[in-house]
Amino acid sequence: MLKGKKILLAVSGGIAVYKAVALTSKLTQAGAEVKVMMTEHATEFVTPLTFQAMSRNPVYTDTFDEKDPAKIAHIDLADWADMVVIAPATANVLGKVANGMADDMVTTTLLATQAQVYVAPAMNVHMYQHPAVVQNMKTLETWGYRFIEPGDGYLACGYVGKGRLEEPEEIVQVIDRDYHRLGRWQGKKVLITAGPTREPLDPVRYFTNYSSGKMGYAFAQEAAEQGAKVYLVSGPTNLTVPPSVEHIPVSSTEEMFAQVTALYDQVDIVIKTAAVADYRPVETSEQKIKKNKDHITIELEKNVDILRYLGEHKERQYLIGFAAETEDLEAYGRKKLQEKNLDAIVINDVSRSDIGFDSDQNEVVLITKAGNTWPIEQASKSAIAEQVIELIDREIGKG
């Protein structure tokens, strides 16, 4: 699938430069057009001529070595690329880019490009764990850079640990899979609900549940990375809103209902991961309730079922509900799918502590209206979101 793609390979100076030669070869074999730029230090390990021979293109090492007077090389390269791969990415090059420095061919081009950037780090295990490097990688990640983690093993410096440049075959596979994921939902508007709702009893107390919002935020991040315009209607969480996602904070179910229904007409897809409180206190005291009785009774009334309302008023939207179950998962899930007029339902077992509420992982079964059932194995919530979106996209594609 990389056939015809213009890939700019940025090579920085570490012992793993020799693997970047194999990477150049693999990328050209996959049908990509590859251009290579190298830091001065990278040229100490392997000559530019080697990359020139593998890529069949001139290699760029010096910002001031303008090969064509009609163009400014680093801007031209930055605009030319469909994607940029930094491999190996040293701690130095990561630090420079994360801090906006541009003092050579590689870093000026990296700052100038608007293409998707993939980063395959390679360095000593202790450098990889250094807080400065960790912070720089986080910064780059929040700007949309995609990381291909280094492998574990024997390092050239003599240590054994994480820091070895991922194998060229694996880098090619990762970027191939990932690049085609990006942009899949370009032009789509997606409404995601996440987190818990809070139903106030008095100014200091409320009813809620254990939802952390992690599942919903993972969907928001994934949908945004796939090019969608994402509206994230979220109950209170401690999470950071993913880049380019429109965050609409709410607290109670009524507030969530108001925001969701206001957006409903505009969106193409709805993913309802929020753990909405089914009941709320009939009365909310304006003053703090005093603890002068041994027992109190609080009367609760049913909240609006937002998802059911959306199912009843569905026009062109593709509506995905969640089912939080503790027994007979699929049977209860199917019932909700049908009763709430959904297009698909994602069922998870919330009796387990390793998945579901507040966990970093989940394991789900996706069932569609057409009757297709896909169990998705335990994985990070991001990986679950990615797989669900891929399957849903296929379903939508079938029309």
Active site residues: 157
**For residues 57 and 261, which CB has a smaller minimum distance to ligand PMT in the complex?**
261
* Sites for ligand PMT among residues 156-195 (CB under 6 A): 195
Residue of 194, 219, 316, 227 lying closest to 264 (CA atoms) = 316
Instruction: Indicate the burial class of 44 (C-beta count within 10 angstroms; 0-12, 13-18, 19 or more).
Output: exposed
The single-letter DSSP state of residue 199 is E
* Identity of the amino acid at 37: M
**For residues 135 and 373, which CB has a smaller minimum distance to ligand PMT in the complex?**
373
| Smallest separation, CB 305 to ligand PMT (Å) | 4
What span, in angstroms and rounded, lies between the C-alpha atoms of 52 and 41?
17
Neighbours of 104 (CB within 10 A): 21
- Per CB under 6 A, does 259 bind ligand PMT? no
| Smallest separation, CB 188 to ligand PMT (Å) | 20
Q: Which single residue is written with the structure tokens 């608007």?
A: 114
The single-letter DSSP state of residue 275 is B
Please, which residues have CB within 8 angstroms of residue 325's CB and are 6 or more apart in sequence? 332, 333, 347, 348, 349, 350
The two tokens of residue 154 are 């024997």
- Per CB under 6 A, does 348 bind ligand PMT? yes
**For residues 171 and 307, which CB has a smaller minimum distance to ligand PMT in the complex?**
307
DSSP 3-state assignment of 310? helix
| Smallest separation, CB 316 to ligand PMT (Å) | 20
- Per CB under 6 A, does 14 bind ligand PMT? no
What span, in angstroms and rounded, lies between the C-alpha atoms of 373 and 87?
40
Instruction: Find the binder of ligand PMT among 232, 356, 365, 392 (CB under 6 A).
Output: 356
DSSP 3-state assignment of 60? strand
Residues touching ligand PMT, count (CB under 6 A): 27
| Smallest separation, CB 360 to ligand PMT (Å) | 9
Instruction: Find the binder of ligand PMT among 118, 128, 145, 357 (CB under 6 A).
Output: 357
- Per CB under 6 A, does 350 bind ligand PMT? yes
What span, in angstroms and rounded, lies between the C-alpha atoms of 288 and 204?
7
**For residues 66 and 358, which CB has a smaller minimum distance to ligand PMT in the complex?**
358
Cα-to-chain-centroid distance, residue 18: 31
Instruction: Find the binder of ligand PMT among 169, 265, 283, 358 (CB under 6 A).
Output: 358
* Sites for ligand PMT among residues 274-313 (CB under 6 A): 274-276, 278, 303, 305-307
**For residues 231 and 357, which CB has a smaller minimum distance to ligand PMT in the complex?**
357
Of the candidate spans 152-160, 161-169, 320-328, 372-380, the one that interacts with ligand PMT by CB under 6 A turns out to be: 320-328
- Per CB under 6 A, does 354 bind ligand PMT? no
Instruction: Find the binder of ligand PMT among 55, 116, 136, 211 (CB under 6 A).
Output: 211
Please, which residues have CB within 8 angstroms of residue 77's CB and are 6 or more apart in sequence? 8, 35, 37, 60, 109, 113
Phi, psi dihedral angles at 212 (to 5 degrees): -95, -20
- 238, HSE (Cβ side, Cα atoms, 13 Å): 3
- Per CB under 6 A, does 334 bind ligand PMT? no
Q: Could you tell me the CA-to-CA distances from 300 to 251, 277, 281, 303 in Å, in that order?
A: 17, 11, 4, 9
- Per CB under 6 A, does 88 bind ligand PMT? no
Instruction: Find the binder of ligand PMT among 10, 155, 324, 337 (CB under 6 A).
Output: 324
| Smallest separation, CB 383 to ligand PMT (Å) | 14
- Per CB under 6 A, does 214 bind ligand PMT? yes
- Per CB under 6 A, does 317 bind ligand PMT? no
- Per CB under 6 A, does 321 bind ligand PMT? yes
| Smallest separation, CB 210 to ligand PMT (Å) | 6
The two tokens of residue 91 are 């701690």
- Per CB under 6 A, does 219 bind ligand PMT? no
**For residues 138 and 335, which CB has a smaller minimum distance to ligand PMT in the complex?**
335
- Per CB under 6 A, does 336 bind ligand PMT? yes
- Per CB under 6 A, does 213 bind ligand PMT? yes
Edge to edge, the sheet with strand 229-234 lists 245-249, 229-234, 189-194, 269-272, 318-325, 344-349, 361-368, 373-380
Q: Can you give the binding site for ligand PMT, defined by CB under 6 A?
A: 195, 211-215, 253, 272-276, 278, 303, 305-307, 321-324, 336, 348, 350, 356-358
